[in-house]
Amino acid sequence: MKVIIDKRQSAGKANPMIYGHFLEHFHRQIYGGIFDPKSQFADEDGFREDVIDALKAIKTPVIRWPGGCFVSDYKWKFGVGKSRIPSYDKAWLVEESNQFGTDEFIKLCRKIGCEPYICTNAGTGTAEEMSDWVEYCNIKEMGRFAKQRIANGNNEPFNVKYWSIGNENYGGWEIGAKESEEWGRLVAESAKMMLRADPTIQLSAASINNLDWNINLLRKAGQYLDWISIHSYFEGSTNGLKNNDYNTLMLRTGKDINDNIDRARAFLSALGFGNRIKIAYDEWNLRGWYHPNTMNIRSLDEKEKIISNRDDYYNNEILGQRENNDVNSTYNIADAVFSAAFLNTCLRNCDIVGMACFSPVVNTRGAIFTHKDGIVLRPQYFVFQLYANLMKNNILDVWKNDVPTLSGKDGSISKTVDTIDIVVSYDNGEYAVAAINKDPVHTQSFDLSFLDDKVNIMDIYTVNGDNVDSYNDIGKTDVGIKTIKNMAFTGHIAIEPHSVNIILLKQ
């Protein structure tokens, strides 16, 4: 394989916001995850310092909160002030203590040094409630809600810049799901009220691969939007654990990721918003969350189980099965390689993809796993560590030929993907090359040359393990970062099987 680089050929500027993350009130993401006042690692505000340090280390740029499906019945006003009354969470069928609310979320973001991104309730909520939330966060002192924030101990406004109107309101699983016409109107009216509270905020709303949905959304509300939000999970299972093998998952690192971006781009372009509205890929992960028996319409057999023993059904069939999300052996080298391929796709589409939020960041399917004695950094965590710290913002348009490929069957569908996935970035005389080898067994190599530039020194940072099933767990660290520095650059680069690499090149 040959790759030719010309630093004058820019594909665009990457926004570091694509290395963002997501937290929802589900399972142990908030309580027992990032917020755990009883933990030995808790700071004076109840936040786990080990988790905060891990989020700082990957330069977390933005966190989306509080949902997700959770937000479609969330009453933000229950989660502020000194008296927090618990409420019933209709999305996840648990009691929400409301101890972690808006003030705590802003405090968390400030500890991490990231932007807060608030997702509003467009399910059971109203445009007025969304606007009230903006007032609480962003108006200095006028009105009831700014004064309430001040009374709660926050004299200065939070100045939350990023807001999403709703979540996946196109889906029947979502509380308060909407038809396309009513969605466009709700987004427009909500946006008008929110922008009157603070005209400087940036707004997003949900898009999906549906022509009517996008026509109604963009024609009615496009003038108010800065982003459209898309979501994807690429792997599910019947029990929450590993379902498909490494090779099958690699076949999903090509067209599967690209198509979602291409369709969103096409809708924006067709309706005249291609230069105004960006894509926020604000929920993504290889593995979809496992939460059986919550969103579906229950069969008569299931209802009989509930009737016969409601407590057992709740504890075993609902709560108990969620624990399978946190089986660390599920998250192996495939998660790392897939995550890198996803980020490479966003970087190649940096002209229109301006934000992405890995879903979620702590526990469930997250990159960080918490336990009473510390944390486990899952393989995908190290991908974020490399990309956020080493990749440059100027993405180059490179020439490639003789690219090796992987082919196979994903179910009944034949697929082919590039074995080597490369993105090149440049800034201040230094190149950073993201190079992925998806081959499960063989080392792959490529020749790299430059037009009108000279490179002498090479550093290679590699995320890998002994094999495709390598994973990290409590007391077990089989996946991490290996570094080789100050190598002589010869123009020929070899990368290990099933590896993610950032290669720094300089004179």
Q: What is the pLDDT along the chain (507 residues), one digit of tens a residue?
A: 999 999 999 999 999 999 999 999 999 999 999 999 999 999 999 999 999 999 999 999 999 999 999 999 999 999 999 999 999 999 999 999 999 999 999 999 999 999 999 999 999 999 999 999 999 999 999 999 999 999 999 999 999 999 999 999 999 999 999 999 999 999 999 999 999 999 999 999 999 999 999 999 999 999 999 999 999 999 998 899 988 999 999 999 999 999 999 999 999 999 999 999 999 999 999 999 999 988 766 778 888 888 899 999 999 989 999 999 999 999 999 999 999 999 999 999 999 999 999 999 999 999 999 999 999 999 999 999 999 999 999 999 999 999 999 999 999 999 999 999 999 999 999 999 999 999 999 999 999 999 989 999 999 999 999 999 999 999 999 999 999 999 999 999 999 999 999 999 998
- Give the separation between CA 443 and CA 437, rounded to whole angstroms: 8
Q: What is the CA radius of gyration of the chain?
A: 23
Are 347 and 432 in the same domain? no
Are 374 and 404 in the same domain? no
Q: Establish if 6 belongs to a structural domain.
A: no
HSE, side-chain direction, 13 A CA sphere, residue 456: 1
CA dihedral 264, 267, 272, 275 (to 10 degrees): 10
Q: Two tokens at 30?
A: 């908030």
Cβ neighbours of 299 (radius 10 Å): 9
Are 381 and 454 in the same domain? no
Are 131 and 167 in the same domain? yes
Say how many domains are in the chain: 2
pTM (two decimals): 0.97
Are 182 and 248 in the same domain? yes
Are 381 and 413 in the same domain? no
Domain-ending residue, one of 390, 417, 450: 390
Domain CATH number, residue 473:
2.60.40.1180
Are 188 and 292 in the same domain? yes
Q: Establish if 8 belongs to a structural domain.
A: no
Are 70 and 192 in the same domain? yes
Q: Two tokens at 262?
A: 């291409």
- Give the separation between CA 291 and CA 306, rounded to whole angstroms: 17
CB 170 within 8 A of CB 206: yes
Q: How remote is the C-alpha of 290 from its chain's centroid?
A: 16
The secondary element (H helix, E strand) that includes residue 205 is strand 202-206
Domain residue limits at 243: 14-390
CA distances 479 to 253, 333, 463, 464, 485, Å, are 20, 8, 7, 6, 19
CB 72 within 8 A of CB 175: yes
Are 270 and 370 in the same domain? yes
Q: Establish if 3 belongs to a structural domain.
A: no
Domain CATH number, residue 211:
3.20.20.80
Domain-ending residue, one of 335, 362, 390: 390
Domain-ending residue, one of 367, 390, 413: 390
244 burial via Cβ count (<10 Å: 0-12, 13-18, 19+): middle
